[in-house]
Structure 1
Amino acid sequence: MVDGVIQRFEFCYELAWKTVKYFLDYQGIEEVKSPRTAFREAHTYGLIENGDEWIDMLTDRNKTSYTYDEELAKRIYNKIKSSHFKNLKDLYSVISKEELKE
Structure 2
Amino acid sequence: MERLQERIISAKQALTAFKKLIIIEDPSDVERDACIQRFEFTFEACWKLGKQYLYDIEGIDVCSPKAVIRSCREVNILDEEEAILGLQMVNDRNLTVHTHNEELAIEIHSHLKQYYDLLELWIGRMESNLD
Q: How many residues align?
A: 98
Q: Is the 8 A contact 2:47 2:65 kept in 1?
A: yes
Q: Which of 99, 117, 121 matches 1:86?
A: 117
Write the letter of the residue equivalent to 1:89: E
Provide the residue aligned with 1:60 in structure 2.
92
**4+ aligned runs moved over 6 Å, structure 1:** none
TM-score (norm 1): 0.90
Provide the residue aligned with 2:55 in structure 1.
25
- Structure of larger gyration radius: 2
TM-score (norm 2): 0.71
Secondary structure of 1:48 counterpart:
coil
Write the letter of the residue equivalent to 2:96: T
Provide the residue aligned with 1:13 in structure 2.
43
Q: Which of 97, 101, 109 matches 1:77?
A: 109
Measured at CA, do residues 66 and 78 of structure 1 come closer, stay the same or move farther in structure 2, by a change above 3 Å? closer
Secondary structure of 1:59 counterpart:
helix
Q: Give the gaps of 5 or more residues in structure 2.
A: 1-30
Cα-Cα RMSD = 1.1
Q: Give the distance between the partners of 1:55 and 1:34, measured in 2 at CA.
A: 11
Q: How far did residue 66 of structure 1 move?
A: 4.3
Answering whether residue 76 of structure 2 is matched by residue 46 of structure 1, we say: yes
Identity %: 32
Q: Give the gaps of 5 or more residues in structure 1.
A: none
